[in-house]
Structure formats: C-alpha cells, structure tokens
Amino acid sequence: GAVVSQHPSWVICKSGTSVKIECRSLDFQATTMFWYRQFPKQSLMLMATSNEGSKATYEQGVEKDKFLINHASLTLSTLTVTSAHPEDSSFYICSARDPGLIPFSEQFFGPGTRLTVL
C-alpha cells in the first residue's frame, strides 16, 4: 500500500524559533498533499492543501505567514512553523493522494509530528 512518512516524529523547540516538518510519499508521486492539526481529544483540522509546483491553499483562520508550506517536488511537502509559540504545540499530520490509484481520491496519512514549544 501507499506509504507516507513524516520527519521528525517529535520535536521540542524554544519559543520564537522556527520548525520544519517534512512529509514524503515513499512509493508514489503525490500531486496533492494535505496538512492537518490535531489537539488532544479532538479530531483533525485541515490547515492547508498543498499542490506540487503552486501555492498552498489555506483554510480560513490559518495564518499563511506563520505556517509556510512548500511542495517543491512530487514526493515532498514541508510545513514550517515560523516563530513558534506555546499555542502552536500540537500534533501535525500530513496526508497525500496517489493519483495513480483508482479511485485516486483516497488519502494516505503520515505518522504525525508532535510539536512542543516551550
């Protein structure tokens, strides 16, 4: 089956620093990747849709200057949390669609990255 990886799996950083999270599709090319955020005991919240070679589409209320998304290749999307603050502490999950599958709309999820900002 399609595999999506994330790196790092967890990160602790100081307030004010920037953190980059990578999402990779390992055995397929993903033209579209999605970034989600999950708070404890809550469901996933879509932050943005990342399309290879173009600007990401952010959901309402998500600051695009704070959460920078780059999808420079068909197998890699990155999320950079800039000037992180404690309220950015959360579990960040990416997913990717394999356009080669039928139906291609199935999404495959990464293992998530737990960010703690001190």
Partner 1 sequence: KNEVEQSPQNLTAQEGEFITINCSYSVGISALHWLQQHPGGGIVSLFMLSSGKKKHGRLIATINIQEKHSSLHITASHPRDSAVYICAVLGTSGSRLTFGEGTQLTVNP
Closer by beta carbon to partner 1, 70 or else 91? 91
By CB under 8 A, name the binding residues for partner 1: 32, 34, 38, 42-44, 46, 49, 91, 93, 95, 103, 105-112, 114
CB 23 within 8 A of CB 110: yes
State which H helix or E strand residue 7 sits in: strand 4-7
Long-range contacts, stretch 47-55, CB < 8 angstroms, 24+ apart = 47/79, 50/77
Q: Which residues contact 103 (CB under 8 A, 6 or more apart)?
A: none
Closer by beta carbon to partner 1, 66 or else 114? 114
Residues recorded for the chain: 118
Q: Which residues contact 72 (CB under 8 A, 6 or more apart)?
A: 52, 53, 78
Q: How far is the CB of 16 from partner 1 (least distance, A)?
A: 26
Closer by beta carbon to partner 1, 81 or else 110? 110
Q: How far is the CB of 68 from partner 1 (least distance, A)?
A: 20
Q: How far is the CB of 17 from partner 1 (least distance, A)?
A: 22
Closer by beta carbon to partner 1, 46 or else 82? 46
